[in-house]
Each structure stands twice: as C-alpha cells, then as structure tokens.
Amino acid sequence: MVELSGISIESEEIVEYLKQELYLKEICHKLLCQRIIQRVAQEQGITITPEEIQAEADRQRYQRRLESAEATLAWLEDQMITVEEWEMGIRRYLLAQKLAEALFEQEVEKYFVEHRLDFEQVSFYKITVPYEQLAQELLYQIEEDEISFYEAAHLYDVDEQRRLYCGYEGQFYRWKLKPELAALIFGARLGEVIGPCKSEQGYDLLLVEEFTMAELTEEIRKDILNNLFQEWLNSELNYLLHHSSSP
C-alpha cells in the first residue's frame, strides 16, 4: 500500500491499473532485466561502494539543484520514496553502468570503426509546407534570390518552433535519420537546396549547413556502450523468457 496526500492506494489497485493500461508486461520485463544484471554482476565480481553511491547522489542533487538536506528530503517525499529506496535505485543504476563497462568496453572502438559512417553528423535547415506547388514556388524564389531560405522558413513553415529558428532543424547523426533522408542529405553539397520531398507533414525543402566527420568522442563512446549493453540485455531477456516457457 502507498499513500498520496493522505489517500491510501492498495498494491492490488496499482497492479490492476498497470494491467488495464498495458504497462504490466513492460514493468515485468524491466524487473527481469534487473535480475539478469544482478546475477551477471555477481558472477563478474562487480560491487558498488557506499562512496560511489554518495558521489552519484551528490551528482543527482546538483543536477536537480537540491542544495540542502532539507530540499533533498522534500524532493524524496514528493517522489514518495525514502532515502534508502533512492540509494537502492542509485545502486542499480551504477551496477548496470559497471557491468556494461566490464562486458563491452573493449568492443567500443571496434564497433565505431565498423560503423563510422553512422556517426557522421549534419546540421541542416528545413521548410515544410502543405502543398507541392507552394514548395516548388518557394524553391524557384530561393534559386532566383527573390527570398532567402531562412526568410521563407520564417514565413511559411508549418512548424511554429522551426519558424522561430528560421528553419533550423538541428544537428543529427546519420543513423538517427531515415535511410532515404540520410542518403539525400549526405549526398548534397553545402548550401544546396534539396527538394521538394514528400513527407508526413507535407513537402520539404532542405538546406545543408555543415557536415561533421565522425570522431569517437566521450558522448559517442557512451552511446555505443549503452547500445551494445541494451542489445545484450534484450538478448538475455529473450533467452530467459523462451527458456522458462519451453516444456
């Protein structure tokens, strides 16, 4: 049973809600994944020290701007957890991190080399309009210098946020783009306007601002490590589920 603002909620109610909202299977899978992590970490002799838990707790407090013990306790109360439960969650998080390092640290560089193209980045602008005829007209006006790409985006883009940034879509890794879009963008020249291209929202015009060559940064290293770990964990979970259901 848990209490929220003095109102009691039975554990059975929580389970029934999770079932009705189709969340229960996902939660059970996460619990099984935690069992796998604990088992393999124990086999690997991986442990978490109180000092490591404290350091991570301090990092989380700093991130959430919890500058005093009173503010931290108030936040924990709002989250409906105790200090001990928070520390257990931190321990599970650190255990997963350490296990990922132990299992896949030596494979990160090899993976990066084999998938280097996926980690190239591109910054680009986009204009999306509802009609192909309008996209064609804007393309003509841009090519004839009657209007700049950025002015057109500010005036005509269907996306309000992109209008405010004059069409700036952002910086993306190749692997985060749909294959057909990645082929178009990475095959373009800097400053070249691409399109019109049919999309879910209408018709797009694209402008490539900058290409960034792939480099194994700390951020990419962490992404690769996490991806390798998640693939392994999903494989272990599938094996566990299949094995347990076999006659």
Domain CATH for 162: 3.10.50.40
* Residue 28 belongs to some domain of the structure: yes
- Whether residues 145 and 96 share a domain: the answer is no
What type of residue sits at position 235?
S
Query: Do 12 and 91 share a domain, yes or no?
Result: yes
Answer yes or no: is 106 within a domain: yes
**Residues 150 and 169 occupy one common structural domain:** yes
- Does residue 170 sit within a domain? yes
Q: Return d(Cα 26, Cα 24) in angstroms, integer.
A: 5
Three-state SS at 87: helix
- Is 160 inside any structural domain? yes
Grade residue 6 by pLDDT with cuts at 50, 70 and 90. Answer: confident
* Residue 222 included in any domain: no
User: How do residues 32-82 score in pLDDT, each as one tens digit?
Assistant: 999 999 999 999 999 999 999 999 999 999 999 999 999 999 999 999 999
Domain that holds residue 49: 2-110
Does residue 228 form part of some domain?
no
pLDDT at 1: 73
Q: Which two tokens stand for residue 74?
A: 């108030």
47 residue type, one letter: T
> What's the predicted TM-score (pTM) here?
0.75
Q: Please give the tally of structural domains in the chain.
A: 2
Q: Which of 46, 81, 110 is the last residue of a domain?
A: 110
Eight-class DSSP state of 119: G
